[in-house]
Amino acid sequence: MSILQLFRRASFSHGIHPPAHKGQTAHIPVRRLPFPPLLILPLSQHIGAPSRAMIKKGEEVVRGQPIASASGAVSVPLHAPATGRIRGIERITTVRGTREPAILLEVYEASTQEVLWRTPQQPGQMDTAQMLQAIQNAGLVGLGGAAFPSHIKLRIPDDKQVDTLVINGCECEPYLSCDHRTMLEFPQDLIHGITFAMQASGTRRAIIGIEDNKMDAVHVLQKHAEKHPAISVRAVETKYPQGSEKMLIQSLLNRKVPAGGIPADIGVVVNNVGTMAALGKLLPKGEGLIERIITVTGPGVKRPGNYLAPIGTPIGFILDHVGYEGGVNEFILGGPMMGPAVSSLDTPVTKGSSGLLVLNEPGIQEETRRTWPCIKCARCVSACPMHLNPAQLGQLANAGQYEEMAQRYNLNHCFECGCCSYVCPSNIPLVQYFRIAKAINREQAA
């Protein structure tokens, strides 16, 4: 083994190294945003069946009160992020571009906004079923962006055997630093959440993977994990998309999730550090998820930072408080690689919103936006972490051969990380082509 291999951080093959752009926010402690006059609460803030409203127009609710129940096994309830009055239930345009029902909650300005609805619990005395039910009752979903219901992720199928809980602290998307601040400021909540998740999933050990541009977080968590021999902390190479669960599993454990499979197929379950910290904080108190930390940054923001925002806060309200003065901007909820662009300032922060980026690019000329023909440079092939051929897939997409893309060229293995689009010198929007192809294939299958 060479000296280089001996000291190289754990990683995966391929991937890219975009500029981090985290310096504006990574060093600033989390600050709480004020409550907006109106909270917009979509009933579908997670993968699975939407929540079912339990309230009616004109009803008064208190902070923390359940206002929508889980409508199925793969669903979670929704809790009031503030004390106030229900204005109604209306259809709004979501970040996905669809119109879906949402609860509109008028916030009482004179309220102290204490959490007035809670049921303290003893997680250590719960069995597996009780623990999973408590996690569902808290409305917990993956806070890294996917918003998959946490109780489903931790419920291991009867035909699977899982031994390792992997905690994703990579935060590989540029600009975002909310997970970094969570690890630095709330390490005890995080460790408690990991122990609860191990109890719920039956795993024997947990590994926290953190990119090596956050060594301060590595050292903090190593210190807090000293009393927990089953929990270890490892630094991995800073590379995008290191935070993808398949990539992180490969980096930490050298195990590969089979094509079309899930991490449980190889004995692993993966959760985000923000999700685990929320679990550690909320479960003993018996409270629901009503707020989250969100990174607000970008060239168009005067006061960038990580802010604790009530779920349902419109992004326009946030922009008013961070010094946004208007201009030619693009607003992205999440990270720049995978986060969707939004056009309405009424778009609310949801459980899966990890960031609000205001990217100011008024000087871009039309020529630089132009898409050119593929020059067969193979940069996309070298970048793809799933070892696909994005150039070939792109040509098939242009020809409308969507079914062949899936059947012969493994389109469904693509998790839309955006590496191919990022490195393409011809500005071909490959990942958008793949999203369209997948959507058309789903429609035809249905």
pLDDT of residue 446: 80
Residue pair 304/175 in contact by the 8 Å Cβ criterion: no
Tell me the C-alpha distance between 106 and 36, whole Å.
9
- What is the distance between the alpha carbons of residues 187 and 96, in angstroms, rounded to a whole number? 33
CATH number, domain with residue 156 = 3.40.50.11540
Q: Residue 189: pLDDT above 70?
A: yes
Average pLDDT over residues 80-108: 93
For 385, counting Cβ atoms within 10 Å of its Cβ (0-12 exposed, 13-18 middle, 19+ buried), the class is buried
Cα–Cα–Cα angle for 216, 236, 377, rounded to 5 degrees: 125
Residue at token pair 């909320």: 282
How many domains does the chain divide into? 2
Residues 338-395 pLDDT 10s = 998 898 899 999 999 999 999 876 544 444 568 899 999 999 999 999 999 999 999 9
**285, 310, 326 — which closes off a domain?**
285
pLDDT on residue 332: 93
The answer to whether 431 and 421 have CB atoms below 8 angstroms apart is yes
What one-character DSSP code corresponds to residue 95?
A: T
88 φ/ψ angles, rounded to the nearest 5 degrees: 160, -175
Percentage with pLDDT > 70 across the chain: 96
User: Contact, 92 vs 40, CB < 8 A?
Assistant: yes
Q: Tens of pLDDT along 144-164?
A: 888 999 999 999 998 999 999
The confidence score (pLDDT) of residue 328 equals 67
Alpha carbon distance 97, 86 (integer Å): 24
Whether residue 357 lies inside any domain: the answer is no
- Domain region containing 376: 371-445
Q: Are residues 271 and 152 in the same domain?
A: yes
Same domain, 270 and 168: yes
Q: How far apart are alpha carbons 81 and 349 in whole angstroms?
A: 12
pLDDT digits (tens, 9 = 90+) for 30-63: 999 999 999 999 999 999 999 999 999 999 999 9
pLDDT for the residue 99: 87
- The CATH number of residue 385's host domain is 1.10.1060.10
Which domain-ending residue is among 253, 285, 317?
A: 285
Report if residue 137 sits inside a domain.
yes
Residue 164 lies in a domain: yes
What's the pLDDT at 361?
61
pTM over 0.75: yes
- DSSP assignment of 31-61, as one string? EEPPPPSEEEEES--SSSSPPEE---TT-EE
Average of per-residue pLDDT values in the chain:
92
DSSP 3-state helix, strand, coil percentages of the chain (rounded to 5)? 30, 20, 50
Residue 142 sits in the same domain as residue 254: yes
pLDDT per residue as tens digits for the range 223-247:
999 999 999 999 999 999 999 999 9
- Report DSSP state, residue 83: S
> Is residue 339 assigned to a domain?
no
Region of residue 414 (phi > 0: left; psi between -120 and 50: alpha; otherwise: beta): beta
Pair (269, 127) in one structural domain: yes
Q: Where residue 8 falls among pLDDT bands split at 50, 70, 90?
A: low
Statement to judge: residues 141 and 10 lie in one domain: yes
Query: What pLDDT is recorded for position 300?
Result: 81
Please check whether residue 359 lies inside any domain of the structure: no
Is the confidence at residue 294, as pLDDT, over 50?
yes
Asked which of 232, 262, 285 is the last residue of a domain, the reply is 285
User: Tokens at residue 48, please?
Assistant: 């699975």
Type of residue numbered 259: A
pLDDT at 369: 63
